[in-house]
Structure 1
Amino acid sequence: MNIRHYTSVADLVSIANASSGFLSIVMITMGNLVLAAKFILLAVIFDALDGWVARKINREDEYGFGKNIDSLSDIISFGVAPAMLLYMSYSSFGAPYLNLAVALLIVICGLLRLSRFNVITDASDDKFIGLPIPVTALVLGSFFLSGLFQADIALVIMGIVSLLMISTINYPKFRDIKIVAVSSILVVATLLPQNFLSNISYLPAKLLFIIILLYLIVVPIIDLYTRFIRSGPNVR
């Protein structure tokens, strides 16, 4: 059957996501890591838009084509591209292959996370089971562009991020328009040329990085506390 039978406008947005991830990898091979980081953040925007477009056009994904192309795009942009960026930004002097091990962990955990997502389709409307994979791009991209980047710290953070992706921690889905708007503005501002923002060139990336870190840290604490309360002994 013709490929046009399966595709919709939303899938074109997913392809733009994958294309951004591929261009990020190309920039990494050319040594332009700043532009590579911006391309993976651009991919996050496209990833957010494809679901919105699908809902707007009332897309009925009868064959699961949209879900699959979205996941395949995600593994390029939020698995392979961040892994390559981390690998190339870290000097292995003193710790040979450590950057390679963490980069590989990102890809493996990303594959496992997306495969689980496609099986259970994160049935709840208000939460993700495990950290959503676009966070790898948000945290590494914003950290790299923040002016605060340190490769050793990035290795630790991305190792934790990888394990959180395959955890059973419930991460909320933010649908509030104000939260989405602020996050989108920060991502777009981070993508702007530094000379355009003059003295505040690193501020959007710093704010974005801090917000993502809070999301990474606070949500597991709340989730584990909630589980502890629910499973604790009854006090009479």
Structure 2
Amino acid sequence: MYEKFSRKRMIKKPIPFRRLAPNMITSGSILCGVMSLVLAFHRHVVPAVWLIFVAAFFDLMDGKVARSLGGDSAFGMEFDSLADVVSFGVVPGLIFYVSYLYAFGGVLGALVISFYVLCGALRLARFNVVHSSGNFQGLPIPAAGLFLVSFVMSGIALPSSVAAIMATTIGALMISSISYGNIKQLNKNNINVLRLLFLISCVVTISVFLREKSALAYTMIYVLSGPIGIDWGKWLSLKGNEVTDNR
């Protein structure tokens, strides 16, 4: 009897696909981060930067898939945060260090990037503990990572001192209490189509004129939107209401 009871307890129910799918997409983000790290190690920084943008796509999609399938879970949220530390914290920090801070004051450049990564980890830990609805508190780490690597993609030559100030400021923005707009839960039912079309036309125009520097322009606009007080989620929302992201 005891053996039968033990066997029954050991039998586990299969994990449903609706919970597996979002975590599989999150795994894609980690894969992109690790591959980007390998490319950066071999000084192929531009392909490494492209993989960070692919990781950002996976990061956007895992939450959408989780919500559409009803697969939100505490495990998914923790896993997503671990992926973000790798793909938007450690890897962009290393790419930025290799590109701009390698010769900055010896160990000082490494300390600057360490500060950036530490702030990113602290911001994610706060996000997981404080489940606040509405806007993000502090600059989201995906935006921070994309902002740093966009300098590399744009080919802009930053002096080491300016790069150090930039990385330190971005790190401080992540752990700040500045509110940033949340657009992750905008959908066809709650989005202002006219404003969306206007925004798309602006994106196309910027892409045509700035080309390889357009990614830097987009990320810079979002980074500055917090201190300026622009709420993109509310601006694009049909009723002007804040949206939430629970994953």
TM over 0.5: yes
Which string of whole-angstrom CA distances, capped at 9 and with x for unpartnered residues, describes residues 107-150 of structure 1? 110110000000012x223x101110001221122221112242
Query: 2:95 matched to which residue of 1?
Result: 85
Structure 2 contact 141–174 (Cα < 8 Å) conserved:
yes
Report the residue type matching 1:207 in the other structure: S
Query: 1:27 matched to which residue of 2?
Result: 39
Structure 2 contact 123–141 (Cα < 8 Å) conserved:
yes
Report the residue type matching 2:67 in the other structure: R
Distance 2:225 2:169 in 1: 14
Question: Alignment partner for residue 38 of structure 1, among 43, 46, 50?
Answer: 50
Structure 1 contact 44–137 (Cα < 8 Å) conserved:
no
Secondary structure of residue in 2 paired with 1:90: helix
Query: 2:82 matched to which residue of 1?
Result: 72
Structure 2 contact 93–145 (Cα < 8 Å) conserved:
no
Which string of whole-angstrom CA distances, capped at 9 and with x for unpartnered residues, describes residues 181-223 of structure 1? 959x88xxx9xxxxxxxxx7x9344122122212222421338
Distance 2:33 2:46 in 1: 14
Distance 1:94 1:119 in 2: 35
TM-score by length of 1: 0.77
Structure 2 contact 92–146 (Cα < 8 Å) conserved:
no
Instruction: Tell me: CA distance 1:205–1:49, structure 2 relative to 1, closer, same or farther (3 Å).
Output: farther
Question: Alignment partner for residue 163 of structure 1, among 160, 165, 172?
Answer: 172
Higher Cα radius of gyration: 2
Secondary structure of residue in 2 paired with 1:5: coil
Instruction: Tell me: CA distance 1:182–1:15, structure 2 relative to 1, closer, same or farther (3 Å).
Output: farther
Query: 2:120 matched to which residue of 1?
Result: 110
Secondary structure of residue in 2 paired with 1:8: helix
Structure 1 contact 21–81 (Cα < 8 Å) conserved:
yes
TM-score by length of 2: 0.73
Distance 2:15 2:218 in 1: 40
Distance 1:56 1:151 in 2: 45
Q: Where do 5+ consecutive residues of structure 1 fail to align?
A: 191-199, 224-236
Distance 2:68 2:129 in 1: 24
Structure 1 contact 143–205 (Cα < 8 Å) conserved:
no
Instruction: Tell me: CA distance 1:158–1:4, structure 2 relative to 1, closer, same or farther (3 Å).
Output: farther
Structure 1 contact 28–85 (Cα < 8 Å) conserved:
yes
Which string of whole-angstrom CA distances, capped at 9 and with x for unpartnered residues, describes residues 142-161 of structure 1? 22111224252333222111
Q: Where do 5+ consecutive residues of structure 2 fail to align?
A: 1-9, 231-247
Query: 1:146 matched to which residue of 2?
Result: 154
Identity of aligned residues (%): 33
Structure 1 contact 38–141 (Cα < 8 Å) conserved:
no
Structure 1 contact 140–154 (Cα < 8 Å) conserved:
no
**Aligned-pair CA distance for 1:163:** 0.5
Structure 1 contact 89–151 (Cα < 8 Å) conserved:
no
RMSD after superposition: 2.7
Distance 2:71 2:165 in 1: 40
**Aligned-pair CA distance for 1:31:** 1.4
**Aligned-pair CA distance for 1:68:** 0.7
Q: Which runs of 4+ in 1 moved over 4 A?
A: 1-4
Query: Which residues in structure 2 correspond to 1:172-211 (within 5 Å)?
Result: 172-174=181-183, 175=186, 176=191, 178=196, 182=200, 203-211=210-218
**Aligned-pair CA distance for 1:101:** 1.2
Secondary structure of residue in 1 paired with 2:229: helix
Structure 1 contact 86–155 (Cα < 8 Å) conserved:
no
